[in-house]
Each structure stands twice: as structure tokens, then as C-alpha cells.
Amino acid sequence: MKVTRRTLLRSALAVTAASTLPRFSFAAQSLELGTARIDTLSDGNLVLPLSFVSDDPKAAPILKDYGITGPEVEPPCNLTLYRDGTNAVLFDVGAGPDFMPSAGKLQAALDALEISRDDVTHVVFTHGHPDHLWGVLDDFDEAIFANAQHLMGKTEFDFWINPETVNTIDSGRTTFAAGALRRLQTLEDQITTFGDGEEILPGIASRMTPGHTPGHMSFEIRNGNTSALVTGDAIVNHYLAFAAPGLAAGSDQDPDLGAKTRVALLDQIASEKMPIIGFHLPEGGLGHAERVGDAYRYVPEV
């Protein structure tokens, strides 16, 4: 794997109000994968209460070690664009304008790379949370990526398209459910679903990684003899998720299942030395996991 380029986003930084200044200092990070190319595109960042990381008392000393002591965290958001010469596949679409003022900045990242929305041939969702899905429609409720085929794991799609989910999901996630339902219903005829372990596109295989959401998917991208794993939110930060993967994460809908998924995934990633692209990992989200005793350390590819 070779990191080829970092594209600075000076123009977007210049016009961003100080109060919502995102932590990213780039629009994209790139790497060559065989004869293909991956770019990670910044959608800005989220601002979340610390409880989204973990309420577990065992988390406190680890967070302190990483300098995370305030009431809020500001995770970056990184989308992945894979181009193999035939397809331009975008993993998740970002938050759009309606979730948080600090997120929904994808257009600036596309502009910096001189990529038109119309160039995107496929949109593949890791899961249905707002920061991954809500950027899918324009002001006219039509697909932002008008030429793209949209794909989502069947379990995930079935969960959010079910009108009952709004009533049954825990109260803190009701807006997530309502927002996903509206968008998926609008696009229902344009969405193709897939199962676990399928080659959904040439060189791209789905891998069910549930817990964060019921049908969360990761994706192994393979070109020639090189590969990388798009992990979405299965590994949701670069500190606690690596230092204590078995600890419950506040952002996981099913914390026990999320922890089980994370433990298994990190074991594989570290053993195979596989590069990952994490949606909320820092500096573009491209890195790998290094084993440290019973736990891991995140190593960025920069």
C-alpha cells in the first residue's frame, strides 16, 4: 500500500466559521491499491457527548491517557471512494445539510479532487445512521448521486425501512430512525440489497459486522494481491475501540454484539496486517492495527 497524496482544503477552511471549524486539514487522503485507487473524502466532523464513546467507568483512565477529558468529542467523518478504471464506488454519502453544522462537507472534498457527483457509479452504505446516509438526497428529494446504483445490506435496509422501528428503537435514536425511514422510502426503488459475504461489485466483498447497527457491513476491497477493509463504524474511534475493544461503546445499538464484532475484527486485521479505512478514524481514517498485549494500537498511514 502506498499513500500517494494528501489534498489540502484551504478554501473550505477559509470560509468555515470559527465556531464550527472542523479538525480536518485536508479534503482527501489517497492510496494505490493494485491498479486501482482509493481516496478518502472528508465530510467534516461530528460533535457528540462523551457518553457516545462509553459510559463504562473502565473507559475513564483510557480516555484520560488520550487527552479526552471534556464533555464532548469531535470525531472526523471520512468517506471512501474506490476507482478501478470502470467503477467509481462511494462508501456512504455523509450527513448532508440537516444533521450537524460541522458535517455534510462532502461537496468541498469532491471539488478539491475535481470529481463530479455524476462520475459516481455506485453508492454503497455501511449502515443507516445520519452521518452515513442523510446526505443521499438533494433539496428536491432526488438522489444526489443521480447516476449511481445504491446498495445497502438487506438486514440493515429491512431494519430502517420498517415503519415500526421508529416506535421500537430506544428514544435517543428516534430521529435516526425517522430520518432513515424517509430517505430509504424515497429511494426504495433505486436501492439494491445484498447479503453477507457477497461479491457486490468486482473486487468488493461484503462482511457483516453487526452491533453498531443490526446489519452494519464492512467491505473488503481487493485488487491484484492487495486489499483494504472499509470498516465503517465497526471500529468507531482510534482510542477506546483499539485500547479496550471488548468494552461497551455508547454509540453501538447492541453494545455486547458490537464488542464481539470489534474483538474479532481487530484480531483479523492485526494478524493479516490489513490496512483499514475507518469512517471516524483521524487524518483521513487510513491506518492499521498493531497488537499491544491483549489490546491494540491504531497506526495511521501518514
Which stretches of the chain bind Zn ion, using CB under 5 A?
A: 131, 233
Phi and psi at 141, nearest 5°, equal 60, 35
Q: With respect to Zn ion, which residue has the nearer C-beta, 39 or 233?
A: 233
Question: Strand 199-201 vs strand 36-45: parallel, antiparallel, or unpaired?
Answer: unpaired
State the nearest-atom distance from the C-beta of 140 to Zn ion, in Å: 26
| The three three-digit cell numbers of residue 184, written as one number | 430509504
Cell 444533521 belongs to residue: 99
d(CA 143, CA 232): 21
Q: With respect to Zn ion, which residue has the nearer C-beta, 36 or 77?
A: 77
State the nearest-atom distance from the C-beta of 183 to Zn ion, in Å: 15
Q: With respect to Zn ion, which residue has the nearer C-beta, 127 or 150?
A: 127
The sign one gets for the Cα dihedral 257, 240, 204, 190 is positive
Q: With respect to Zn ion, which residue has the nearer C-beta, 44 or 203?
A: 44
Q: With respect to Zn ion, which residue has the nearer C-beta, 20 or 87?
A: 20
Q: Which residues contact 167 (CB under 8 A, 6 or more apart)?
A: none
State the nearest-atom distance from the C-beta of 233 to Zn ion, in Å: 4
State the nearest-atom distance from the C-beta of 128 to Zn ion, in Å: 10
State the nearest-atom distance from the C-beta of 77 to Zn ion, in Å: 7
Residues shown for the chain: 302
Q: With respect to Zn ion, which residue has the nearer C-beta, 49 or 224?
A: 49
State the nearest-atom distance from the C-beta of 176 to Zn ion, in Å: 10
d(CA 180, CA 174): 10
